[in-house]
Amino acid sequence: MTQGHAWRVLLGSAGALGLMAGAALAQDCPIKIGALAPLSAPGTVVGGEAMRDAMMIAEADINAAGGVLGCDIEVVIGDSEGLPERAVAVMERLITQDGVVAVGGGYHSSVGVASKDVADARGIPVVFAETWNDTITGDKQKYIFRIAPLSSWASATIWQFALTLPGIEKVAILTENTDYGIPASEETARGLATGDVESVIFSVDIGTQDYAGIVQRIIAEDPDMIITLVTGEAAYNFTQQAADAGIGPLDIPFVTGQDALESGAYWTNVPDGQYAFVQRIGVPESEFTDKGRAFAAAYKEMTGKSDVESYAMEAYDSIAILVQAIAEAGSTDGDAIVAALENIEHEGTLGTIYFPYGSAKDPSEDGRGDEWWHQWPDPALTMIQYQEEGQSSTDAAIVFPDAYKTAEPVLVNE
């Protein structure tokens, strides 16, 4: 399948992104949509590049279907570097200099926490793709939406899985000192404690490369399992350095960072990474929607990868849902886009995306916490395991939860 053909399949004969060519209002063309992605260290470059590629496919798909409001769109991507102060500056530039009408993307929680206030104050709608910290939607800002899972949900998947494994009495948690890592490690530790499992947390700065000292401290704790809550290339480095010291995935149950979903980069950087567990957002590829399968084909053809990472799919959907909202609003006005998003049903690569809580219905009406505000409630969360050396994440065994399970976990310490 050629790249162009893959994109045409994704669009479909009726323009599957939906209502892309609504009646044009007085409008400057192209319509600019901003996006955040970490494309430089210390940010997660491998994740940022995946998101960038996915958002470029979204731009091409939308324009091939006729654009929106009579205009093409232009996705303007700002490099957040994974740093909160940089994210604030990039968001300001996207809005005040580049003239974007909405913003998608976003990988690091710290980026979302820092930049959302800028967008909300200026009335610019944001659909965050991959920022997990609960507070991003938890302060109920009018213009802020999210399609990634809440951090508390994601952490629960990991600790609940750990409690299903035999012989786990003590867990070492490596985390980064960020708005993702700190709450995620605390939530994971609390969850493990419900099963009488002890945990010890080791914290590092984002982008740390040398883990020799941390590895020795972990060895001294003699854990039964290791959970890695650091992002990007740092997780590769820690996992292989732990393996070199005899406490890697070949030695004890080991959850590595989700950037291992880009299996080509993972196996290059972590040759001793067999039997590692990885958290994945979304259903397995065998259960993708038609749009998900078409996007996966286009993405693999564009990038040459054998996998399609969940954060790439989130990035694509964050742009596509904003464009559908602009079309349904018939306007690029921020308030009109928010009203459309609060009532939207978007058939995305990850499934049907909607936001049940917002100005018309507060989460408290259903006994939900404030973090459910403008939050997609249905992202699937699974744990996979690389049970063969060099395996693609697409082909890896799903070991948790039972609803998606394809194989039992291989426990190397039995």
**HSE on the CB side for 364, CA within 13 Å?**
4
pLDDT tens digits along 267-295: 999 999 999 999 998 887 888 999 999 99
Given its phi and psi angles, is residue 308 left (phi above 0), alpha (psi -120 to 50 degrees) or beta?
beta
Q: Is 69 left (phi over 0), alpha (psi -120 to 50) or beta?
A: left
**Does residue 25 surpass a pLDDT of 70?**
no
Residues 6+ apart with CB under 8 A from 26: none
Share of residues in the chain with pLDDT > 70 (%): 93
Q: Is 15 exposed, middle or buried (0-12, 13-18, 19+ CB in 10 A)?
A: middle
Q: Which domains does the chain have, with CATH numbers?
A: 3-150+286-372 (3.40.50.2300), 152-280+381-400 (3.40.50.2300)
- Whether residue 313 is predicted with pLDDT greater than 90 in this model: the reply is yes
- The predicted-structure confidence for 179-196, as pLDDT tens digits, reads as follows 999 999 999 999 999 999
Percent of the chain clearing pLDDT 90 (strictly above): 87
Higher pLDDT, 207 or 366: 366
Cα-flanking dihedrals φ and ψ of residue 75, to 5°? -90, 120
pTM of the model as a whole:
0.87
Mean pLDDT for the stretch of residues 296-321 = 95
pLDDT at residue 282, as a whole number = 84
Secondary structure of 97-165 as H, E, C letters: CCCCCEEEECCCHHHHHHHHHHHHHCCCCEEECCCCCCHHHHCCCCCEEECCCCHHHHHHHHHHHHHHC
Structure tokens at 259: 């950037």
- Band the pLDDT of 17: cuts 50, 70, 90: very low
pLDDT digits (tens, 9 = 90+) for 131-174: 999 999 999 999 999 999 999 999 999 999 999 999 999 999 99
Cα 284–Cα 286–Cα 291 angle in degrees, nearest 5: 90
Confidence of residue 414 (pLDDT cuts 50, 70, 90): low
pLDDT band for 27, please (50, 70, 90 cuts).
Answer: low
* Structure token pair of residue 10: 């994704």
Q: Work out the mean pLDDT of the chain and round it to a whole number.
A: 92
For strands 198-204 and 170-176, give the pairing. parallel
* pLDDT of 351: 94
Indicate if the pLDDT at residue 408 is higher than 80: yes
Average pLDDT over residues 212-222: 98
Average pLDDT, integer, range 386-395: 94
Where residue 37 falls among pLDDT bands split at 50, 70, 90?
very high
* Tens-digit pLDDT profile for residues 247-256: 999 999 999 9
Query: Tell me, what's the pLDDT at 382?
Result: 95
